[in-house]
């Protein structure tokens, strides 16, 4: 069996955008807290405390807790990765060379293995010895 990986471009673009926004959000949160976290005795608890106390002022009236930014960034990053995984699809192809066949009953054509003999026609369901179509 040979496999083809088909990537959905729209899914890739969407997941890339989500990952970028998510990473940016996480980076901003880290950037904001870094001066205090890097000099703290206990970086993790300091980071955690800062997340809930620091405000990111988008506008003078609307404050945005850093924790929300981290949560938002993480959610976006995870959705981006999920979309990336979902937009990859594997298609299985029959191994070996395929040749065009023609059904003697309905005259329709399809591609199948060269060594295939008695088959059910995929169109009229007749059991038949399909004729190979000459090129
Ligand atoms: Zn047929």
Angle at CA of residue 62, ends 55 and 51, nearest 5°: 20
Mean pLDDT of the region 11-26: 92
| pLDDT of res. 24 | 93
Distance from the alpha carbon of residue 135 to the mean position of ligand 1, in angstroms: 20
Nearest-10 crossing angle of helices 43-53, 9-37: 110
Distance from the alpha carbon of residue 97 to the mean position of ligand 1, in angstroms: 22
Distance from the alpha carbon of residue 116 to the mean position of ligand 1, in angstroms: 15
Q: Is the pLDDT of residue 74 over 90?
A: yes
| pLDDT of res. 82 | 92
Q: Is the pLDDT of residue 1 over 60?
A: no
Q: Are 3 and 93 in contact (CB under 8 A)?
A: yes
Tens digits of residue pLDDT in 44-72: 888 888 888 877 766 666 677 888 888 99
Distance from the alpha carbon of residue 117 to the mean position of ligand 1, in angstroms: 14
DSSP structural state of residue 63:
E
The pTM for the full model equals 0.56
């Amino acid at each position: 069996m040979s496999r083809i990986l088909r990537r959905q471009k729209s899914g890739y673009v969407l997941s890339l955008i989500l990952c970028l926004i998510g990473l940016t959000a996480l980076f901003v949160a880290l950037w904001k807290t870094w001066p205090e976290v890097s000099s703290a005795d206990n970086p993790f608890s300091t980071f955690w405390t800062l997340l809930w106390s620091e405000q990111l002022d988008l506008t003078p009236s609307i404050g945005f807790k850093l924790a929300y930014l981290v949560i938002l960034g993480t959610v976006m990053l995870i959705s981006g990765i999920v979309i990336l995984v979902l937009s990859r699809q594997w298609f299985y192809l029959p191994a070996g060379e395929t040749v065009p066949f023609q059904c003697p009953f309905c005259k329709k054509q399809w591609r199948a293995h060269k060594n295939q003999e008695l088959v059910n026609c995929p169109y009229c369901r007749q059991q038949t010895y399909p004729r190979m179509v000459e090129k």
